Structure 1
């Protein structure tokens, strides 16, 4: 290899080069900003639901949007992030409402993440399985998914909405709460999202 040194003289000596990599390891999953017209191509598909609009299943990407200072998980439907909004009072769900957010974040992942049923075998100090993904670490906001099917009353397109739906685990009730049909539905039969 010919090298020109500082004195502008040519040399054929071999040189050693040490490459210093200051980059930090990229996270294996991340939340990216998205809008109705900008959903990342590698967005994580949380579930599918049947819709008569296309006579088949519609993919539901996992999203999160902020409500009352908390990042709440939901699903992207028609370019909006649908999230559950509710209060828990005296062990009951109050004021359930499906909120639609235009500005939100979408989960993308470069490593395997999967839905698993909660198990008492592999819990960490928070009482959650190792690798549990959260939409907001500050509030231990656990992402869940459950299967649901029911006709949407007075719907223009008569979607059945049957399929799996992502939502938020409400630990005080042991329920997965998810947005559906303008309100919040719940189920005690759910899975949670785990990073491998």
Structure 2
């Protein structure tokens, strides 16, 4: 099977990100950018920026996305900017739509239930990543990336005033991958089950 050049993969991802963002708010590209930035900082892998095609990617992003925003502003004017930027971004971040749900344990409970029964294995999974033969260790880069992905999504939305069950669903992907890798290392012959654990959430969403 032919290998897809890295440049085409990156440009395709930019297109997906742009179309995915057309109907929603800034976190569609803000959070991925923050996750990647912190991962590069933690792993000191700044040289990877040279491979990211930032200039061409940003240009493509604007070419695809900017016309939609301009069209919406032209068609709806002030109503669009107030609703899209005001209500769906600033207002939801600062004023809770459902005050009873604005509690510190909300997303912890939501994600434990969303990952059930696999969530019961998360403590042991994390312990294995940080402890080996009785001493602390730094996890491998893939684990670091998955942990940052899950943690940033959780912390970001935990600090928003408005809370919805679906807001932190993106952290289920890295959590499922971590659990799948854990089970594969514990029971090699059950690698198929580990792959299913890791991919269930991708098929669901």
TM-score of Structure 1 vs Structure 2, range by shorter chain: under 0.3
| Higher-Rg member (1/2) | 1
What TM-score does the superposition give when structure 1 sets the normalisation length? 0.20
What TM-score does the superposition give when structure 2 sets the normalisation length? 0.20
Return the structure number with greater strand share. 1
Return the structure number with greater helix share. 2
